[in-house]
Structure 1
């Protein structure tokens, strides 16, 4: 059972999300927060697996809540769910620890799948959010084309984006974990990114995993 906390300052939005998500056999809504400060407090007291977090809230906004959670260290996967279309919010949210970034016009079934995917370790963004992350000022410079990756490196990239560990990738591809580490290093170098999260974002942007 995936324990979900909803943080949004609009009661009708919270009620709508609860009503739909409660219908899912594998999801349980453990609480609701009306502002960012309450969200941080409830994460610590209720220990949800996934937090659905609005950005524009009173007392403490979504970005502030993300930073608080990152500093305090509770293990929760956060999906930003916002109606705001400011592309400048995407990179700060992901840097502050969000695992997903979706807009409130997302299809309900896609939202459910996003919760499951993020809970499973994936990084998942709406197409517009992925575009903003990788084409904005904060995007890593000098992306090499996908063509520079070998077929095996492309497979590794797709598995990174699916949230697999090196050990899991090794098992999937039937190779040694040391070999996977070499492939991962090569992928990061060729794409010009610093870590696995940025590699996952690149994969989302170029269609290697489903986008929100």
Structure 2
């Protein structure tokens, strides 16, 4: 049984999420927190596996609640369910270690998938979240004509995501720095997207996982 605590004081969200997940026999709501203090109280009492939280709505919760959960309750993981669509704020949340972020206008099927992914410790971002981050420059599937990356290009993508600089990648793969730079240019050309930091690149890998060799 997957025990969920919902931290959102919006009645419509509580009732909607309950309705969506009620068909899943292995999912159970243990409580609904209305503010930060209530959240800590319920976390301590019920020890849920998943906290579904909107850190932005109506000032009831904040990013500090996410930090607090991670620092005090190692038995729980976090699923963000929010209307917040600003790229910088979504990335700020993800950089705290949150691996699961869905927008409130995503499909019921995506919300269900997100819950199961969170329970398994897997990463999940709904299509609308990824489109907010990457815009329409990244196509969601092979039918939109995204070329396959080569084995070497895919290897370099993962090393960049690990935070390695061109020189470090060159040394690890026994390549020249010039060759690594050329590969990076080819990757950007193929994907049609210039990644600005490791967080964005990790998300890009997730978004295009079906086209990475």
TM-score range, shorter chain: 0.5 to 0.7
In structure 2, do the counterparts of structure 1 residues 129 and 36 end up closer, same or farther at CA, with 3 Å as the change threshold?
A: farther
1:94-105 maps to which residues of 2 (within 5 A)? 94-105=94-105
Conserved in 1, the CA contact under 8 Å of 2:34 and 2:60? no
Q: Unaligned regions of 5+ residues in structure 2, if any?
A: 136-146, 165-197
Work out the number of aligned pairs and report it.
Answer: 167
Give the SS at the match of 1:97: coil
Moved more, 54-63 or 22-31: 54-63
Q: CA deviation at 1:73?
A: 4.0
Q: Which structure has the bigger radius of gyration?
A: 2
- Report the Cα offset of residue 30 of structure 1: 0.9
Provide the secondary structure at the position in 1 that maps to 2:102.
strand
Instruction: Provide the alpha-carbon RMSD of the alignment.
Output: 3.1
- Quote the residue 2:21 is aligned against: 21
Instruction: Write the deviation string for residues 22-55 of structure 1: whole angstroms up to 9, x where unpaired.
Output: 2211111111111233223322321111111112
Secondary structure of the equivalent of 2:6?
strand
Measured after TM superposition, the shift of residue 132 of structure 1 is 5.0
1:194 paired residue number: 163
Q: How does 1:72-87 map to 2 (within 5 A)?
A: 72-87=72-87
- Between stretches 67-76 and 111-120, larger displacement belongs to 67-76
* Paired residues for 1:48-87 under 5 Å: 48-57=48-57, 61-87=61-87
Which position in structure 2 is the counterpart of 1:179?
none
SS at match of 1:109: helix
CA distance in 2, matches of 1:146, 1:193: 21
Using structure 1 for the length normalisation, give the TM-score: 0.65
